[in-house]
Amino acid sequence: MIRFLLYLVISFIYVTGCHAQSANLKNRFNQVNQTLRTYVIGTNEYMPYYIKTEGDRWEYKKFSLSYEYPNLILEYIIGGKVKYPGYHSGIKEGKYKVIIPISSTIEYPGSYTLIGQKSYNNTTINIINEEGLTKYSNGKASLLKQFSIYGDEELTAKKFASELKELQRLILNENFQGKLGTVERRSSSSSPKKNSNTTPTTPTKKIGKYVQ
Protein backbone atom coordinates (compact mmCIF):
# COMPACT_ATOMS: atom_id res chain seq x y z
CA MET A 1 0.00 0.00 0.00
CA ILE A 2 2.82 2.41 0.93
CA ARG A 3 4.64 1.61 -2.32
CA PHE A 4 1.46 2.30 -4.28
CA LEU A 5 0.94 5.69 -2.57
CA LEU A 6 4.59 6.58 -3.18
CA TYR A 7 4.15 5.68 -6.85
CA LEU A 8 1.08 7.96 -7.08
CA VAL A 9 2.97 10.87 -5.49
CA ILE A 10 5.95 10.47 -7.85
CA SER A 11 3.63 10.19 -10.86
CA PHE A 12 1.72 13.31 -9.80
CA ILE A 13 4.95 15.30 -9.41
CA TYR A 14 6.20 14.14 -12.81
CA VAL A 15 2.94 14.90 -14.65
CA THR A 16 2.40 18.32 -13.06
CA GLY A 17 6.06 19.17 -13.54
CA CYS A 18 5.82 18.52 -17.29
CA HIS A 19 2.85 20.86 -17.56
CA ALA A 20 3.96 23.60 -15.17
CA GLN A 21 5.89 26.53 -16.58
CA SER A 22 8.71 28.13 -14.65
CA ALA A 23 8.80 31.91 -14.16
CA ASN A 24 11.91 32.03 -16.33
CA LEU A 25 10.16 30.17 -19.17
CA LYS A 26 7.09 32.40 -18.96
CA ASN A 27 9.24 35.56 -18.97
CA ARG A 28 11.23 34.38 -21.98
CA PHE A 29 8.05 33.47 -23.86
CA ASN A 30 6.57 36.92 -23.19
CA GLN A 31 9.81 38.58 -24.29
CA VAL A 32 9.80 36.74 -27.64
CA ASN A 33 6.28 37.99 -28.36
CA GLN A 34 7.17 41.50 -27.23
CA THR A 35 10.05 41.54 -29.72
CA LEU A 36 7.74 40.32 -32.51
CA ARG A 37 5.33 43.17 -31.78
CA THR A 38 7.91 45.91 -31.31
CA TYR A 39 10.71 45.37 -33.81
CA VAL A 40 10.77 45.33 -37.62
CA ILE A 41 10.60 41.59 -38.31
CA GLY A 42 9.14 40.01 -41.42
CA THR A 43 8.71 36.87 -43.52
CA ASN A 44 8.86 35.98 -47.22
CA GLU A 45 5.32 37.36 -47.68
CA TYR A 46 6.22 40.75 -46.21
CA MET A 47 9.93 41.52 -45.97
CA PRO A 48 11.31 44.13 -43.52
CA TYR A 49 12.27 46.35 -46.47
CA TYR A 50 8.62 46.63 -47.47
CA ILE A 51 7.52 47.14 -43.89
CA LYS A 52 9.56 50.35 -43.90
CA THR A 53 8.70 51.53 -47.41
CA GLU A 54 5.09 50.36 -47.59
CA GLY A 55 4.24 50.70 -43.92
CA ASP A 56 1.55 53.31 -44.51
CA ARG A 57 -0.42 50.77 -46.58
CA TRP A 58 0.42 47.40 -45.06
CA GLU A 59 0.80 45.90 -41.63
CA TYR A 60 1.05 42.69 -39.68
CA LYS A 61 -2.39 42.68 -38.11
CA LYS A 62 -1.19 39.81 -35.96
CA PHE A 63 2.29 38.43 -35.35
CA SER A 64 2.51 36.06 -32.41
CA LEU A 65 4.15 32.89 -31.18
CA SER A 66 2.43 30.26 -29.04
CA TYR A 67 3.39 26.77 -27.91
CA GLU A 68 1.41 23.57 -27.69
CA TYR A 69 3.49 20.48 -27.00
CA PRO A 70 5.47 19.54 -29.02
CA ASN A 71 5.25 22.51 -31.41
CA LEU A 72 5.93 26.22 -31.53
CA ILE A 73 3.19 27.93 -33.54
CA LEU A 74 3.90 31.17 -35.41
CA GLU A 75 0.79 33.02 -36.62
CA TYR A 76 0.57 36.20 -38.64
CA ILE A 77 -1.98 38.10 -40.70
CA ILE A 78 -0.90 40.54 -43.42
CA GLY A 79 -3.36 43.18 -44.52
CA GLY A 80 -3.55 46.48 -46.36
CA LYS A 81 -4.44 49.67 -44.53
CA VAL A 82 -5.01 51.47 -47.84
CA LYS A 83 -5.38 50.00 -51.31
CA TYR A 84 -4.89 51.98 -54.50
CA PRO A 85 -3.12 51.46 -57.85
CA GLY A 86 0.63 51.23 -57.48
CA TYR A 87 0.88 49.24 -54.23
CA HIS A 88 3.64 46.64 -54.22
CA SER A 89 2.35 43.48 -55.93
CA GLY A 90 4.96 41.28 -54.23
CA ILE A 91 3.30 41.62 -50.82
CA LYS A 92 0.92 38.74 -50.17
CA GLU A 93 -2.07 39.50 -47.98
CA GLY A 94 -3.52 36.64 -46.01
CA LYS A 95 -3.59 34.55 -42.89
CA TYR A 96 -0.56 32.39 -42.14
CA LYS A 97 0.42 29.78 -39.59
CA VAL A 98 3.67 27.82 -39.27
CA ILE A 99 3.85 24.71 -37.09
CA ILE A 100 7.43 24.31 -35.83
CA PRO A 101 8.43 21.10 -33.99
CA ILE A 102 10.37 22.10 -30.88
CA SER A 103 13.27 19.89 -32.03
CA SER A 104 13.83 22.06 -35.13
CA THR A 105 17.18 23.76 -35.76
CA ILE A 106 17.24 27.54 -35.35
CA GLU A 107 20.09 28.78 -37.54
CA TYR A 108 21.52 32.27 -37.15
CA PRO A 109 23.01 33.78 -39.21
CA GLY A 110 20.88 32.09 -41.83
CA SER A 111 22.74 30.31 -44.61
CA TYR A 112 21.98 30.24 -48.31
CA THR A 113 23.68 28.74 -51.38
CA LEU A 114 24.47 30.86 -54.41
CA ILE A 115 26.29 29.42 -57.46
CA GLY A 116 27.45 26.47 -55.40
CA GLN A 117 28.89 28.64 -52.62
CA LYS A 118 27.43 28.65 -49.10
CA SER A 119 27.10 32.09 -47.57
CA TYR A 120 25.44 33.60 -44.50
CA ASN A 121 23.09 36.54 -44.02
CA ASN A 122 23.17 38.43 -40.71
CA THR A 123 19.56 39.57 -41.06
CA THR A 124 18.14 36.08 -41.67
CA ILE A 125 17.00 33.40 -39.22
CA ASN A 126 16.41 29.94 -40.70
CA ILE A 127 14.23 27.38 -38.96
CA ILE A 128 15.07 23.94 -40.33
CA ASN A 129 13.45 20.54 -39.92
CA GLU A 130 14.16 17.68 -42.34
CA GLU A 131 10.91 15.95 -41.33
CA GLY A 132 8.92 19.03 -42.23
CA LEU A 133 7.45 22.27 -40.96
CA THR A 134 3.74 22.67 -41.70
CA LYS A 135 2.80 26.03 -43.13
CA TYR A 136 -0.80 27.12 -43.64
CA SER A 137 -1.38 29.90 -46.19
CA ASN A 138 -5.02 31.02 -46.06
CA GLY A 139 -5.97 27.54 -44.84
CA LYS A 140 -3.94 25.56 -47.39
CA ALA A 141 -1.15 23.41 -45.95
CA SER A 142 2.36 22.86 -47.27
CA LEU A 143 5.33 20.92 -45.87
CA LEU A 144 8.61 22.84 -45.79
CA LYS A 145 12.14 21.83 -44.82
CA GLN A 146 12.98 25.44 -44.01
CA PHE A 147 11.20 28.64 -43.03
CA SER A 148 12.92 32.01 -42.74
CA ILE A 149 12.31 35.04 -40.53
CA TYR A 150 14.03 38.35 -41.30
CA GLY A 151 15.08 41.42 -39.34
CA ASP A 152 15.51 44.87 -40.83
CA GLU A 153 19.00 45.13 -39.33
CA GLU A 154 21.62 42.68 -38.09
CA LEU A 155 21.03 43.52 -34.42
CA THR A 156 17.26 43.05 -34.80
CA ALA A 157 17.67 39.56 -36.24
CA LYS A 158 20.38 38.67 -33.73
CA LYS A 159 18.17 39.75 -30.81
CA PHE A 160 15.17 37.73 -31.96
CA ALA A 161 17.27 34.66 -32.81
CA SER A 162 18.90 34.73 -29.38
CA GLU A 163 15.54 35.00 -27.58
CA LEU A 164 13.96 32.27 -29.70
CA LYS A 165 16.89 29.88 -29.11
CA GLU A 166 16.72 30.53 -25.37
CA LEU A 167 12.97 29.83 -25.34
CA GLN A 168 13.57 26.55 -27.18
CA ARG A 169 16.34 25.61 -24.74
CA LEU A 170 14.14 26.24 -21.69
CA ILE A 171 11.21 24.25 -23.10
CA LEU A 172 13.47 21.26 -23.80
CA ASN A 173 15.42 21.46 -20.53
CA GLU A 174 12.26 21.71 -18.45
CA ASN A 175 10.54 19.01 -20.51
CA PHE A 176 7.57 21.36 -20.70
CA GLN A 177 4.57 19.59 -22.22
CA GLY A 178 1.85 22.17 -21.69
CA LYS A 179 0.72 25.29 -23.55
CA LEU A 180 1.98 28.85 -23.75
CA GLY A 181 -0.11 31.68 -25.17
CA THR A 182 -3.35 31.39 -27.11
CA VAL A 183 -3.46 28.56 -29.64
CA GLU A 184 -5.93 29.34 -32.41
CA ARG A 185 -8.04 26.37 -33.50
CA ARG A 186 -9.06 25.60 -37.06
CA SER A 187 -12.82 25.39 -37.49
CA SER A 188 -14.09 21.90 -38.23
CA SER A 189 -16.51 21.30 -41.09
CA SER A 190 -17.60 18.03 -39.50
CA SER A 191 -19.41 19.65 -36.58
CA PRO A 192 -22.82 18.02 -35.98
CA LYS A 193 -25.80 20.04 -37.23
CA LYS A 194 -28.45 21.16 -34.83
CA ASN A 195 -31.85 19.52 -35.00
CA SER A 196 -34.22 22.00 -36.66
CA ASN A 197 -37.05 20.76 -34.43
CA THR A 198 -35.37 21.78 -31.21
CA THR A 199 -36.53 24.86 -29.36
CA PRO A 200 -34.08 27.75 -29.74
CA THR A 201 -32.26 28.73 -26.59
CA THR A 202 -31.18 32.14 -25.38
CA PRO A 203 -27.64 32.87 -26.54
CA THR A 204 -25.03 32.95 -23.81
CA LYS A 205 -22.08 35.27 -23.63
CA LYS A 206 -18.78 33.76 -24.78
CA ILE A 207 -15.87 33.92 -22.42
CA GLY A 208 -12.88 35.67 -23.97
CA LYS A 209 -9.59 33.84 -24.44
CA TYR A 210 -6.74 34.48 -22.03
CA VAL A 211 -3.98 36.45 -23.69
CA GLN A 212 -0.53 36.60 -22.16
Domain count, the chain: 1
- Helix (H) and strand (E) counts in the chain: 4, 10
pLDDT along the chain (212 residues), means of 10: 51 53 95 97 94 86 96 95 66 95 98 93 98 97 98 98 98 97 52 42 41 38
Q: Does residue 70 contact residue 102 with C-beta atoms inside 8 Å?
A: yes
Distance CA 51, CA 177 (A): 35
- 24 in a domain, yes or no? yes
For residue 53, the model assigns a pLDDT of: 86
To 10 degrees, what angle do helices 23-38 and 154-173 make?
Answer: 150
* Residue 195 lies inside a defined structural domain of this protein: no
The pLDDT score that the predictor gives to residue 144 is 98
**Residue at 200 is within a domain:** no
pLDDT attached to residue 212? 38
Residue 202 lies in a domain: no
Residue 17 lies in a domain: yes
Residue 65 lies inside a defined structural domain of this protein: yes
Range of the domain at 142: 9-180
In terms of C-beta density within 10 A (0-12 exposed, 13-18 middle, 19 or more buried), how is residue 180 classed?
A: buried
Q: In this structure, is residue 88 part of a structural domain?
A: yes
In this prediction the pTM is: 0.77
What is the pLDDT, as a whole number, of residue 182? 76
Could you tell me if residue 30 is inside a domain? yes
pLDDT, position 63: 94
pLDDT score at 9? 42
Report which of 96, 95, 123 is spatially closest to residue 110, judged by C-alpha positions: 123
